[in-house]
């Protein structure tokens, strides 16, 4: 039943912790644990403490899961990769796709403005990564 509910959402829609748990095949308590261990995971919290995950949060959680479960990294190892910016391959691809779909829904007049902001933020991120 949960899968059908999330299947009807757009790719840029926020997901609840139960939807993310089901999608990633990771228990909810593990997602909450990772939130405490990885400061980069910051779901939006609404009234009553309900968590809403953005597409980029889900991509990051998927990458964390893969590093821990498939590639054999420890939590400390993944934390180091995230700090160094080396664990973002999949997350960056999802981030690049998400703004494009959001821009289409906003309208053509805002699309150019969003693309310029994205380009500027990407350049700033690269500058920060090179300064390390």
Check pLDDT > 90 for residue 27: yes
Q: What are phi and psi of 130, to 5 degrees?
A: -75, -20
Averaged pLDDT for residues 19-31: 94
pLDDT band at 127 (very low <50, low <70, confident <90, very high): confident
Q: Which domains does the chain have, with CATH numbers?
A: 2-131 (1.10.1660.10)
Identify the band that residue 52 occupies on the pLDDT scale cut at 50, 70 and 90: very high
65 phi/psi in degrees, rounded to 5 = -60, -45
Residue scoring higher pLDDT (125 or 53): 53
Please give the Cα distance from 1 to 127 (Å, whole number).
Answer: 45
CA dist., res. 43 & res. 53, Å (int): 5
- pLDDT-derived band at 119 (thresholds 50, 70, 90) equals confident
User: Phi/psi zone of residue 45: left (φ > 0), alpha (ψ -120 to 50 degrees), beta?
Assistant: beta
Q: Nearest to residue 64, comparing CAs of 46, 93, 37, 94?
A: 37
Query: For all residues of the chain together, what is the average pLDDT?
Result: 78
Q: Find the mean pLDDT for residues 100-120.
A: 62
d(CA 30, CA 61): 11
- Band (132; pLDDT cuts 50, 70, 90): low
Evaluate if residue 65 carries a pLDDT over 90: yes
Does 29 score more than 90 pLDDT? Answer: yes
Evaluate if residue 62 carries a pLDDT over 50: yes
Residue 33 has pLDDT above 60, yes or no: yes
């Amino acid at each position: 039943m949960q899968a059908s509910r999330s299947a009807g959402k757009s790719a840029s829609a926020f997901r609840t912790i139960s939807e993310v748990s089901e999608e990633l095949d990771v228990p909810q308590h593990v997602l909450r644990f990772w939130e405490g261990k990885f400061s980069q995971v910051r779901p939006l919290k609404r009234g009553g403490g309900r968590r809403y995950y953005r597409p980029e949060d889900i991509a990051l959680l998927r990458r964390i899961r893969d590093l821990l479960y498939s590639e054999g990294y420890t939590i400390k190892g993944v934390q180091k990769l995230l700090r160094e910016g080396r664990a973002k391959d999949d997350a960056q691809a999802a981030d690049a796709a998400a703004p494009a779909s959001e821009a289409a829904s906003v309208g053509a007049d805002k699309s150019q403005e969003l693309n310029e902001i994205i380009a500027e933020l990407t350049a700033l991120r690269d500058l920060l990564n090179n300064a390390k």
